[in-house]
Amino acid sequence: MIKRITTTTIATLVLISALSLAARAATLSPALEAQISGQADDFNLGLVIISFKTSEGLKPSHLDVLRGLGITGGYTFQNLGMIATPATVAQVKALSANPNVRSVWSNDQLEYYMEQARVMAGVDRVRRDAGMTSANGGIPVSGKGDFSVMVIDSGIDATHNDLKLGQTVIQNVQVLTHDGTTNGLGLNQFIPFAYLEDVPNTDQSVGHGTHVAGIIAGTGVRSGGRYAGVAPGAKLIGAGLGAGLLVVNAIGAWEWAVANQFRYNIRIISNSYGSFAPFNPDDPINIASRTLYERNVVILFAGANSGPGKSTWNRYAKAPWVIGVANGHKEGGLVNGSSRGTPADERLTNTDILDDYAGPT
């Protein structure tokens, strides 16, 4: 009898917990919560990203939710189950109470990160190692293989001889948005995010993405091999976000990655951008990275360059399904400017369960 009661009680608690999770209010980004405070219901918040509770992409019923609130246009991210659209305070409040909505997020500004790479990774030593060569069938380790690495960044200048389009860079995609990217005004219908493929140079003004692509798989031909990447021979795909890096642009790149994963056998995605904030699984970029992780893609995020203070680790590098990468110097330690995580003793005593993710300290 006791065992039966215990089993029934546990089953009941599990059911209640599941129902509570399904019915909980949608998560609002910290910036959006602050922006809403004290504003009139008709105040326009600009572009927000709405993530629905779905594993099957956007459905007509999701658009009906928005139309029922007077929202008649926006950018759609079919595979990720998201929509970016301008919204008022009243509309965001209504969305946050809708059981079909997972989160409503502000179109936050992000920043690019970059540091040194090849020498610290010991790449040349690995290629010369006899044991590694033997384990690789007698062939020196390189980046060659039937897969591709996607670089979500400012873009890639594939006119550079080390990163030739059609050779090292097998696809170069420019993420396109109209002038309403920042505030979303003027969107009067639901339209997919736009992309332009096979662009020779998607890194016209920043250079950050070209730098990252060169670190990964630059051929080194311009320097006689001296400045080759860590994985020469790897196939690259560039996703150009441009100089104005906002959450919606990054989501556009992730949406393209989901739609084209099998077309190019994308197995790795590199991300050297982000911002500092507490980790939240309902952040649309975390939802996107989790989606690709569950499709057997290795996700890397730079840890950021805001050190040496503690708790400065990039919010997206905190996700337990990604590989967060710190900045090191040639002697093998962390550079002073590399961001740090929260010390273990503080994380373990913190009541915020979302803060229990490690970074280098």
CB neighbourhood size of 149 (10 A): 22
Q: Which residues have C-beta within 8 Å of that of residue 13, sequence separation ≥ 6?
A: none
CATH code for the domain defined by 111-355? 3.40.50.200
The CATH 3.40.50.200 portion of the chain extends over: 111-355
Sheet with 194-196, side-by-side order of all strands: 194-196, 169-176, 235-240, 148-153, 266-271, 298-302, 323-325
In this predicted structure, what is the pLDDT of residue 120? 43
In this predicted structure, what is the pLDDT of residue 323? 92
Q: Please provide the size of the chain in residues.
A: 361
CA distance 284 to 299: 15
In this predicted structure, what is the pLDDT of residue 11? 41
152: nearest Cα among 292, 47, 40: 292
3-state percent breakdown (helix, strand, coil) of the chain, nearest 5: 30, 20, 45
For residue range 39-77, what is the model confidence (pLDDT) as tens digits?
Answer: 999 999 999 999 999 999 999 999 999 999 999 999 999
Helices (H) and strands (E) in the chain, counts: 10, 15
In this predicted structure, what is the pLDDT of residue 41? 97
Local structure of residue 26 (DSSP, 8 states): P
Q: What angle do CA 51, 52, 55 make, to 5 degrees?
A: 115
The CATH 3.30.70.80 portion of the chain extends over: 26-106
User: Contact 304/327 with Cβ under 8 angstroms?
Assistant: no
CB neighbourhood size of 349 (10 A): 7
Residues of the chain where predicted confidence (pLDDT) is lower than 70: 1-24, 114-130, 132-145, 177-186, 304-312, 327-361
Q: Which residues have C-beta within 8 Å of that of residue 183, sequence separation ≥ 6?
A: 44, 46, 47, 86
pTM over 0.85: no
In this predicted structure, what is the pLDDT of residue 1? 40
CB neighbourhood size of 224 (10 A): 8
Local structure of residue 161 (DSSP, 8 states): G
3-state secondary structure of 46: strand
Element containing residue 77 per DSSP (H, E): strand 74-77
Q: Which residues have C-beta within 8 Å of that of residue 238, sequence separation ≥ 6?
A: 150, 151, 153, 155, 156, 158, 169, 171, 172, 173, 202, 203, 209, 213
CB neighbourhood size of 122 (10 A): 12
Could you name the CATH architecture of 26-106?
A: 2-Layer Sandwich (3.30)
Peptide bond into 232 cis (omega under 30): no
In this predicted structure, what is the pLDDT of residue 9? 43
